[in-house]
Amino acid sequence: MFPEQLNVPLGKWVNQFVDWLVINYGAAFEAFADSLLTVLVALEQVLRGAPWWVVLIAIAAITWHASKNWKLVVGLVVAMFAIGMLGLWDKAMQTLALMIVATSLSVLIGIPVGIAMAMSNRLRAIMLPILDTMQTMPSFVYLIPALMLFGLGKVPAILATVIYAAPPVMRLTDLGIRLVDQEVLEASRSFGASRKQILFGVQLPLALPNIMAGINQTTMMSISMVVIASMIGARGLGEQVLMGIQRLDVGAGMEAGIAIVLLAVVFDRIGQAYGKRSQRNPHAEDA
Amino acid sequence: MSYIEIRNIFKIFGPDPKLALELARDGSDKDEILAATGHTVGLHDVSLSVEKGETFVVMGLSGSGKSTLIRHLNRLIDPTAGSISFGGEDILAMDIPTLNAFRRKRLGMVFQRFGLLPHRNVLDNVAYGLEIQGTARKEREAAASKWIERVGLAGYETKFPDQLSGGMQQRVGLARALATDPEVLLMDEAFSALDPLIRSDMQDELMKLQGELHKTIVFITHDLDEALKIGDRIAILKDGKLVQVGRPEEIVLNPADDYVQAFTRDVNRARVLRARSIMQAPANQKIIDQEHPVVSDDTRLEDILPIILATGKDISVIDERENLVGIITKEQIVQSLSL
């Protein structure tokens, strides 16, 4: 047996810290949660309020913009249609809203962090183990304090999703910038470009294919968090899976599972199409 | 004082350059310093002067420090010790905004692997320097178009770098460097990545442009033939140290040491040597003999050979004021070619 007197009461300290946060900053967290919730609820109302065929047209338009490939457009519209046929349209729209907000938040936080990591080796050395932790830590561990700070519902679900899904876009932004051809950077510096001009004129455009791959991965990971998020009160397809498990209703669980996969396929294909487009030169489109 | 003054530059790569700098100043060479401290000496006490309007070539093999040296001129690399000035202005004292303004207005650089922006078309690549300066779109595109035409790429404005051959890409690189109308053109092995025929074309193109523009050009190469062809003066670097500086003929006729001599052995002398360096003093006749062919003292030996072969007579050499300055006989030609 490991000597008990060497035990570190880490758990107790964390509890004390969370209590202290709740007591002193509870109001601030609530204000933050409210603003996030406002955005989410508005988006959810739009998606659920819009007629189903409007959403299908929107998906078709986005797919066409990304890929210019009508076969893909038809395929993705059929996939969305199938979700409707499973009777899960409304829940899918709830999941979609949750996912869009979580992915946007991940990208908004992830790209600047990734840029900072590419600029500073020290920050990168600090961030890499943190990102590993974010991706491997069981999500329930941080769901508990998130629940204490934000209460049950959608906001902790979004935060849990962001913690889990933001690392890929950070990693790939960092990688993409580090892979930019050194001679092109030198050329840019030799013409007297400022750091800002180099970042926005050279580094980010050339890193774009990698950044797009990161955004795609982040999107996929946020879909996979949907089921878990339903356990703390987020509505949507995950809720349906959870209900299937609780009632031992294999069929309902399967239906919801298929709907999640279809939604994932739709977003993966759109994301990949945008990624491919950023890889080739704009001239390829004219040809 | 020359236009560009490089004084006692040392560049040492490693975590603690000061320590290695002491050793270098005390006379240790590159290998000794690497063995003793683990530091690499890039440049060892290099001093050079470049005159306004000349094409100055720095020649050396890989590891000689030539690419490091040219990057000191626009401070892509800062020296460990020494001073660099342009027209009396100390560039090492510049802060970042001043340095950027200096790079924007006064320098252009051409790179070995071109360094073009792959996501921009030819027009936007050539206009890049002006865009950085903040020139309005219309103006910079007009200037870029002019330079694209000047380097022979008219009609390719909307192509992307990966659609062009190496030679064409480097023309874009050259146009981009010239578009800001800089005083100084830095060319880092600019033609080394090109096929021999294209390389020769580009050298001719550069010399033609230089004949019209009179920029100050600092050109880096590992190819002595290239250095002799385009350089007004040549500096030879070895292991970060300057071995010799001189006009092409001086390098070929009076190599400073065995290292330079080894390079010059295979050089086409007929292309390098000029009338003035092979002629002998005229035998006290001040009037040009009408019987003999006349060449200027700047004529290359390769152009004198056919004349002397065709006429069989000695050749009179005149300077730019048309005074007789020397005579070239067959014997002197044989002697100068067989050295």
pLDDT tens-digit readout, A35-79: 888 988 899 899 888 899 999 999 999 999 988 889 999 999 999
The Cα–Cα gap between B58 and B70 comes to 9
pLDDT digits (tens, 9 = 90+) for A194-243: 999 999 999 999 999 999 999 999 999 988 887 788 878 888 888 888 88
Whether the CB of A58 is below 8 Å from some CB of chain B: the reply is: no
pLDDT band of residue B323 (cuts 50, 70, 90) is confident
In the block, which residue shows the tokens 């935060």?
A159
Contact B118/A183, CB-based, under 8 Å?
Answer: no
* Shortest distance, CA A279 to any CA of chain B (angstroms): 9
B248 has pLDDT over 70: yes
**Strand order, beta sheet including B184-188:** B107-110, B184-188, B216-221, B55-59, B233-238, B241-246
How confident is the prediction for chain A on average, in pLDDT? 88
Residue B289's pLDDT is what?
65
A272 has pLDDT over 50: yes
The Cα–Cα gap between A183 and A46 comes to 48
In this prediction, residues B169-184 reach a mean pLDDT of 94
| Token code pair at residue A143 | 């769901």
The Cα–Cα gap between B277 and B53 comes to 23
Contact A186/B115, CB-based, under 8 Å?
Answer: yes
Q: State the Cα angle at B35 between B31 and B41, rounded to 5°.
A: 50
Mutation for A interface: B73, B112, B132, B183, most A CBs within 10 A: B132
B65: alpha, beta or left? (left if phi > 0; alpha if psi -120 to 50): left
- Identify the CA nearest to A82 among candidates A234, A256, A219: A256
pTM of the model: 0.82
pLDDT digits (tens, 9 = 90+) for A243-255: 888 999 999 999 9
Residue A285's pLDDT is what?
43
The DSSP code sequence of chain A is: ---GGG---HHHHHHHHHHHHHHHHHHHHHHHHHHHHHHHHHHHHHHHHS-HHHHHHHHHHHHHHHH--HHHHHHHHHHHHHHHHTT-HHHHHHHHHHHHHHHHHHHHHHHHHHHHHHH-HHHHHHHHHHHHHHHHS-HHHHHHHHHHHH-SSHHHHHHHHHHHHHHHHHHHHHHHHHTS-HHHHHHHHHTT--HHHHIIIIIHHHHHHHHHHHHHHHHHHHHHTHHHHHTTT--SHHHHHHHHHHTT-HHHHHHHHHHHHHHHHHHHHHHHHHHHHHHS-THHHH-
Between B120 and A146, residue with greater pLDDT:
B120
The Cα–Cα gap between A128 and A134 comes to 10
Contact A184/B117, CB-based, under 8 Å?
Answer: yes
Beta strands (DSSP E) in chain B are 4-13, 40-50, 55-59, 81-86, 89-90, 107-110, 184-188, 216-221, 233-238, 241-246, 294-296, 315-318, 324-328
User: Are the beta carbons of B217 and B187 closer than 8 angstroms?
Assistant: yes
Cβ neighbours of B126 in A, within 8 Å: none
* Cα A92 to chain centroid, rounded: 16
- Identify the CA nearest to A197 among candidates B188, B96, B72: B96
Residues, chain B: 339
B246 has pLDDT over 80: yes
Mutation for B interface: A181, A189, A191, A212, most B CBs within 10 A: A191
What ipTM was reported for this prediction? 0.84
Cβ neighbours of B180 in A, within 8 Å: 191
Contact B102/A205, CB-based, under 8 Å?
Answer: no
Residue A216's pLDDT is what?
92
* Closest Cβ opposite residue A186 in set B111, B163, B180: B111
pLDDT digits (tens, 9 = 90+) for B74-111: 999 999 999 999 988 999 999 999 999 999 999 999 99
The Cα–Cα gap between A99 and A226 comes to 8
Q: B308 in helix, strand or coil?
A: helix
B143 has pLDDT over 70: yes
Contact B104/A191, CB-based, under 8 Å?
Answer: yes
* Cα B200 to chain centroid, rounded: 15
Residue A112's pLDDT is what?
96
**8-state DSSP, B280:** B
Residue A281's pLDDT is what?
55
Work out whether strand B241-246 and strand B233-238 pair parallel, antiparallel, or are unpaired: antiparallel
Which residue of chain B is at minimal alpha-carbon distance from A279? B119
Q: B221 in helix, strand or coil?
A: strand
How confident is the prediction for chain B on average, in pLDDT? 89
The Cα–Cα gap between A252 and A220 comes to 23
Residue A189's pLDDT is what?
94
Residue A282's pLDDT is what?
52
User: Are the beta carbons of B92 and B161 closer than 8 angstroms?
Assistant: no
The Cα–Cα gap between A165 and A217 comes to 8
